């Protein structure tokens, strides 16, 4: 059905670093003309290798300079309890990521807020109102050493 070769990998590598590059320039980097590059990109989109194209914004400029990882333990682990929790989590825009994890806690949330008082407000008035949350542990981010959306391919 589908498979990707070295040229496809090069294209993906480029696009996940900068998706605004035009096909002509990308083609010349790969010593090709626009047609094969164009067709390969369309195929990679169709086959789901490329999921979407997005703009990455500056957190601090958008007043979301504080990152907190919040570990969450549920009270019970019944089937529908978890799915209700998930529904509530998805609805909260401050939660930018949510993982179901193995270990001491059930979920790990990545939360973006403006400052400490916004975080307090978030925990007090939003997170804590979610049913069936047992206890939570907040891990505060002091510095972001590395943050890439590009996969190592």
Partner DNA sequence: ATTTTTGCAGTAATTTGTTCGAAATAAAAT
Partner DNA sequence: ATTTTATTTCGAACAAATTACTGCAAAAAT
- Interface ranges with DNA (CB under 7 A): 7, 22-24, 31-36, 38-40, 42
First to last CA, the chain: 21
Taking the complex as a whole, the smallest distance from the CB of residue 31 to DNA amounts, in Å, to: 7
Q: φ and ψ at 48, to 5 degrees? A: 85, 10
Taking the complex as a whole, the smallest distance from the CB of residue 38 to DNA amounts, in Å, to: 5
Q: Which two tokens stand for residue 68?
A: 């907190």
Nearer to DNA, 1 or 152 (CB): 1
Taking the complex as a whole, the smallest distance from the CB of residue 137 to its own copies amounts, in Å, to: 8
10: left (phi over 0), alpha (psi -120 to 50) or beta: alpha
Interface ranges with its own copies (CB under 8 A) = 12, 15-20, 47-59, 61-62, 64, 67, 69, 86, 89-90, 93-103, 107-108, 112, 139-153
Q: What span, in angstroms and rounded, lies between the C-alpha atoms of 46 and 94? A: 31
Distances (CA, A) of 29 to 67, 70, 76, 145: 37, 43, 55, 30
Taking the complex as a whole, the smallest distance from the CB of residue 102 to its own copies amounts, in Å, to: 4
Nearer to its own copies, 54 or 76 (CB): 54
The SS3 assignment for 34 reads helix
Nearer to its own copies, 129 or 148 (CB): 148
Nearer to DNA, 46 or 77 (CB): 46
């Amino acid at each position: 059905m589908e498979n990707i070769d070295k040229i496809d990998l090069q294209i993906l590598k480029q696009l996940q670093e900068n998706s605004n590059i035009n096909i002509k320039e990308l083609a010349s980097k790969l010593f090709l003309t626009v047609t094969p590059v164009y067709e390969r990109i369309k195929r990679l989109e169709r086959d789901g290798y490329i999921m979407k194209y997005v703009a990455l914004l500056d957190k601090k400029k958008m007043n979301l300079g504080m990152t907190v990882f919040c570990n969450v333990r549920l009270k019970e682990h019944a089937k529908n309890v978890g799915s209700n929790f998930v529904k509530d989590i998805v609805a909260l825009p401050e939660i930018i990521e949510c993982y179901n994890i193995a270990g001491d806690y059930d979920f790990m949330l990545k939360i973006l807020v403006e400052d400490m008082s916004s975080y307090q407000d978030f925990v007090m008035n939003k997170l804590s109102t979610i049913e069936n949350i047992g206890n939570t542990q907040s891990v505060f981010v002091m510095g972001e050493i590395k943050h890439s959306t590009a996969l190592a391919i």
